[in-house]
Copies of this chain bind each other. A is one copy, B any other.
Amino acid sequence: MSKAVKLIDIAHKLNYSVVTISKALRDHPDISNKTRDLIKKVAEEMGYSPNLVARSLSSRKSNIIGLVVPKIAHHFFGQIIQTIYDIGFEHNYEILLMVSQEEQERERKHLQTLLAMKVDGIIISITEKTRDYKIFETIKERGVPLVFMDRIPDMERINSVRVTDYEGAYNGTEHLIRLGYKNIGHFGGYQDTRIGRDRYNGFKNAMDDAKIPINPNWVKFGGFSEDDGFKTFSKLVETGNLPDAILAATYPIALGVYMAAKERKIKIPNDIDIICFGDANIQRFLEPALSCIQQPTKIIAEKSMEILFDLITNPKQEKFTSEIVPTKLIIRETASKCNRL
């Protein structure tokens, strides 16, 4: 069991002070090239690696970015996490990932921990149930850079990156209408969340603009999970009155509908058609291949990191950035022709 090499060990060996060693290893201009090279060489030989905990405490900089997401084993967040990790790695930042599991209290604890760990910045996609924004105010007061991603709270003066939720839903609905559908339902998010409202409003306005009445029995608000989609659709089946097509607010919801439909021998897209937000790549191998309103995960992640790095680099600025990334309609086997014509 060998101990870790410290600055002082190198200092003793070379008869330099700890400070000189510290500076040399960090390429501080104070130190001459010759001394620096010697010190680096010896440090390498001795297997030195800095104690990042001590460095954090002393420098008040952790080189850690906190990332809070509601779920991880979902394609959308998986992709985003992957990209953020890669960008972090390129910039010598560690990513501290926290998974809130769609629970507000857990999210709050995670944020508290990130503050206590003195991370340099935070990127968060809030849970579908987050209503209390006090913790976000605390973070702002502490001066910790904060960027909201995709799931944005109803707050002023924040940094955020999201997609064109309204337009995406509008376009998706309009597409269904153009195919010839009139009996269209929407499985959406809670209406006291921004994303839930934006997507519903896109749906609603597309219907209104086409002068098609909305049947409230076919509009359901709730969670974003597979389970939610499964239950919502199952209940709808039991009413005996199904729409001809559904606009689902997330890919997991659509998957839940697939599951429930398979169980009840309801054929997609013949008995009921569907399109959803989010592209999982694998969707083209589903039976039938699931069409979607694609959200560009890579761009979302990149923009978020870009904004965050800017905030970290220039801390005192009083500006707030709000990026909105366009969505794209991807048509596969569902929502490709009207099953009622």
Contact = CB atoms under 8 A, between A and B. Distances in A.
Given A106-B89, A285-B287, A116 B1 contact: no
Interface in A85-122: 85-86, 89, 94-99, 101, 106, 112-113, 115-118
A115 B52 CA distance: 9
A53 interface: yes
A75 B73 contact: yes
A81 interface: yes
B113 A85 contact: no
A138 B49 CA distance: 12
A62 interface: yes
A33 interface: no
A51 interface: yes
Interface in A18-61: 47, 49-54, 56-57
A211 B276 CA distance: 50
A237 to B, nearest CB: 18
A145 to B, nearest CB: 12
B82 A72 contact: yes
A102 to B, nearest CB: 12
Copies of this chain in the oligomer: 2
A1 B285 contact: no
A96 B94 contact: yes
A140 to B, nearest CB: 9
A14 interface: no
A335 B190 CA distance: 42
Contact of A94 (B2, B101, B113, B255): B113
Contacts of A101: 86
A93 B146 CA distance: 23
B1 A49 contact: no
B53 A62 contact: yes
Contacts of A96: 94, 96
Interface in A103-159: 106, 112-113, 115-118, 138, 141-143
Given A1-B141, A286-B286, A287-B287, 6 more contacts: A2-B141, A52-B113, A53-B53, A57-B57, A72-B85, A94-B117
6 contacts: A50-B116, A71-B82, A94-B117, A255-B282, A282-B286, A286-B286
Question: Nearest 10 CB-CB pairs, A to B?
Answer: A287-B287, A73-B78, A1-B143, A52-B116, A2-B141, A53-B56, A52-B117, A53-B57, A85-B99, A73-B82
